[in-house]
């Protein structure tokens, strides 16, 4: 689509009050994202009992229409963006390990996946999301298409003519399996998938392929008013194409999946895309809350600050559909609270995977794709409320100081089982103190410096207790039961909606 057409569409959007789509990184940086997997989020019939056997890997019946009816549940946690799993038509049928319910087996980029609903359903979902002032993020597959090979050799058994629009072998790399996922040139040139479901690997260095993908993404974002993208398997796409694709996607926010623990690798990808999921921090979080290691996390924070172009535009997560649920590794609810506290309050755009708020415990793909409806969307669940408190203070801190989210976190306290972090300028900072002890821990005090002036009063937003710095500026903080503490200046609490303070915000509902 030409820029002129986009401009005209933009004008129409304003005049009819239809949402303007494609938000840039700056606009996304204050957002907080709830990641859904459409097939497992909500059914059209609103059922909370319909069975879903994750092991079978079959469609369980979640739809866009069902999601529209559960947006209160998402908004109730304070999220202002929703990610949906890939929307395009996938290969139809059943492999030994299941069907394309997840959306990562594309067959036709120009049709929608009929299991999730119709064009009108997706349009309605987009409108319903935007009517709440929320952004819509779409998970996107551009690395590959898919084909059932059922054990046959992918180099000889694929009928490319059924794939759309990449309907000839010339659009793809010649078949080779990825024998070493740590070898990036191999990972980019060879095929993901296997010989049961082959994933023909698009030749993303080819200019024709690039143009076709660019045209497609402009159309689909325009058609459904998409504000930003997750880019699946970005690690496997030709790196030179990534900035080209982001630009084609109206230069909107794109976070590209590079599954790698290496800080250098993750940070270098930020030269190609404005954002990648923060895997180094994810692994450091596991070190902290499954092994009690309190050095990796603060160390990684210090290193990333100097290695990455901008940590505040990475996406921060502690669960997703590819990794073990935290509760499968460590069942303690207070450790889960600490984990979520860091995930939402650290630099970057938090992305919380559906079900984390219900403390689900699926240990790996596919068991970590539980049907959320079976939890009955319990809004009284402890982690549901915890997330809502965290999103509220993050928003509030950014309202009190519009530069808050662009400031970087740094460690301010290192104990044998505590980690303290500061984010925000003096007098406006949030101090987060995490514990790795778990709920069996007793009560004790720690004394820390945190950058507040002497005699300054801060409130812990979870217990609503006040703490005062002494005349040396030290804070004596009560820890108990392995609970996290989040401290904010009490004189700035008004407007937060927390601890009995009134709620006021300029950006709620249609006033974004
Ligand atoms: C990082 O990105 C944010 C959001 O776009 C921006 O406000 C900030 O200035 C950037 N920081 C640096 C150091 O470039
Ligand atoms: C789910 O399906 C698997 C494989 O078909 C089966 O072994 C298992 O018993 C099923 N689980 C439930 C809870 O029905
Ligand atoms: C990556 O794989 C290619 C092709 O097999 C090989 O030539 C190259 O040496 C490998 N690179 C590394 C760093 O192992
Ligand atoms: C976008 O909508 C137009 C008009 O309905 C349709 O022709 C086109 O195929 C759609 N493109 C995509 C990628 O959905
Ligand atoms: C914590 O993990 C780091 C590796 O990230 C390791 O070097 C260190 O020894 C660990 N510390 C403890 C106390 O286990
Ligand atoms: C905390 O301090 C504020 C401001 O001084 C005060 O209004 C509030 O009552 C205090 N809360 C508690 C629980 O002491
Ligand atoms: C708190 O904020 C509300 C809404 O902005 C305002 O009406 C009220 O006066 C404020 N209260 C205090 C004590 O500042």
DSSP-assigned letters across all residues of 47-77: -S-----TTTT----B-HHHHHTTHHHHHTT
Q: Which residue has the tokens 């030709």?
A: 238
Confirm or reject: Cβ of 58 under 6 Å from ligand 3.
no
For the cut 70, the answer to whether the pLDDT of residue 437 exceeds it is yes
For the cut 60, the answer to whether the pLDDT of residue 510 exceeds it is no
**What is the pLDDT at residue 485?**
98
Average predicted confidence (pLDDT) for the chain: 95
* Segment 179-191 mean pLDDT: 97
User: Which ligand number lies closest to the CA of residue 54?
Assistant: 2
For the cut 80, the answer to whether the pLDDT of residue 1 exceeds it is no
Report CA-CA distances (Å) from 138 to 37, 116, 233, 252, 253.
11, 14, 14, 12, 11
Task: Dihedral sign for Cα 284, 285, 290, 292, please.
Answer: positive
Active site residue: 257, 347, 357, 370, which one?
Answer: 257
* Segment 231-236 mean pLDDT: 98
**What is the pLDDT at residue 20?**
79
Tell me the sheet residues that pair with 495.
Answer: 503
**What is the pLDDT at residue 18?**
47
Helix ranges (DSSP H) in 206-332: 207-224, 241-248, 263-269, 279-291, 296-307, 326-329
**What is the pLDDT at residue 506?**
62
**Least confident piece of the model among 14-18, 99-103, 266-270, 331-335:** 14-18
| C-alpha atoms less than 13 angstroms from C-alpha of 321 in its C-beta half-sphere | 26
Tell me the sheet residues that pair with 295.
Answer: none
Distance between CA 415 and CA 434 in Å, rounded? 10
* Segment 435-440 mean pLDDT: 98
Catalytic status, residue 257: yes
* Segment 235-263 mean pLDDT: 98
For the cut 60, the answer to whether the pLDDT of residue 14 exceeds it is no
* Segment 187-215 mean pLDDT: 98
* Mutation to probe ligand 2, out of 50, 51, 54, 55 (largest number of atoms < 8 A from CB): 55
* Segment 50-63 mean pLDDT: 98
Report the chain's C-alpha Rg in angstroms: 23
**What is the pLDDT at residue 504?**
87
Tell me the domains of the chain and their CATH numbers.
Answer: 3-139+204-400 (3.20.20.80), 144-202 (no CATH), 410-511 (2.60.40.1180)
Neighbouring residues of 420: CB distance < 8 A, sequence distance ≥ 6: 411, 412, 413, 414, 431, 432, 433, 434, 448, 450
Distance 26 CA to ligand 1 centre (A): 7
92-120 pLDDT per residue, tens: 999 999 999 999 999 999 999 999 999 99
Taking Cα atoms as reference points, which of 203, 142, 146, 149 lies closest to residue 172? 203
For the cut 50, the answer to whether the pLDDT of residue 512 exceeds it is no
For the cut 90, the answer to whether the pLDDT of residue 343 exceeds it is yes
């Amino acid at each position: 689509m030409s820029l002129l057409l986009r401009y005209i569409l933009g004008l129409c959007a304003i005049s009819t009050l239809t949402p303007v789509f494609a938000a840039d990184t700056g606009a996304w940086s204050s957002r907080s994202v709830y990641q859904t997997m459409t097939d497992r989020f909500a059914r059209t019939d609103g059922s909370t009992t319909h069975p879903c056997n994750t092991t079978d890997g079959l469609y369980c019946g979640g739809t866009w229409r069902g999601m529209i009816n559960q947006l209160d549940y998402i908004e109730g946690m304070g999220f202002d963006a929703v990610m949906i799993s890939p929307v395009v038509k996938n290969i139809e049928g059943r492999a030994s390990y299941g069907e394309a319910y997840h959306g990562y087996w594309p067959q036709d980029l120009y049709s929608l996946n009929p299991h999730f609903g119709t064009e009108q359903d997706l349009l309605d979902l987009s409108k319903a999301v935007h009517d709440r002032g929320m952004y819509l993020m779409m998970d996107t597959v551009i690395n590959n298409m898919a084909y059932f090979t059922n054990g046959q050799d992918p180099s000889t058994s694929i009928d490319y003519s059924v794939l759309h629009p990449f309907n000839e072998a010339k659009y793809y790399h010649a078949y080779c399996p990825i024998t070493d996922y740590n070898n990036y040139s191999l990972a980019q040139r060879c095929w993901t998938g296997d010989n049961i479901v082959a994933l023909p690997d698009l030749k993303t260095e080819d200019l024709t392929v690039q143009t076709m993908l660019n045209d497609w993404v402009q159309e689909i974002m325009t058609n459904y008013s998409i504000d930003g993208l997750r880019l699946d398997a970005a690690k496997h796409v030709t790196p030179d194409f990534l900035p080209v694709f982001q630009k084609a996607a109206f230069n909107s926010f794109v976070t590209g999946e590079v599954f790698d623990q290496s800080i250098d690798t993750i940070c270098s990808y930020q030269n190609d895309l404005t954002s990648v999921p923060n895997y180094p921090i994810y692994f450091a979080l596991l070190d902290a809350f499954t092994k009690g290691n309190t050095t990796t996390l603060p160390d990684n924070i210090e290193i990333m600050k100097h290695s990455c172009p901008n940590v505040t535009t990475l996406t921060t997560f502690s669960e997703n559909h590819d990794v073990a649920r935290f509760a499968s590794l460590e069942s303690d609810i207070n450790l889960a609270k600490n984990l979520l506290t860091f995930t939402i309050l650290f630099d970057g755009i938090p992305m919380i995977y559906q079900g984390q708020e219900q403390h689900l415990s699926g240990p790996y793909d596919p068991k970590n794709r539980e049907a959320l409806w079976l939890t009955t969307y319990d809004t009284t669940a402890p982690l549901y409320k915890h997330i809502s408190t965290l999103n509220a203070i993050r928003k509030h801190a950014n309202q009190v100081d519009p530069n808050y989210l662009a400031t970087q976190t740094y460690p301010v306290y290192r104990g044998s089982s505590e980690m303290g972090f500061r984010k925000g300028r003096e007098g406006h900072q949030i101090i987060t103190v995490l514990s790795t002890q778990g709920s069996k821990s007793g009560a004790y005090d720690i004394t820390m410096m945190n950058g507040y002036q002497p005699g300054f009063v801060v409130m812990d937003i979870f217990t609503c207790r006040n703490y005062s710095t002494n005349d040396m500026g030290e804070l004596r903080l009560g820890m108990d039961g392995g609970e996290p503490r989040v401290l904010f200046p009490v004189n700035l609490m008004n407007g937060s909606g927390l601890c009995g303070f009134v709620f006021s915000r300029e950006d709620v509902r249609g006033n974004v």
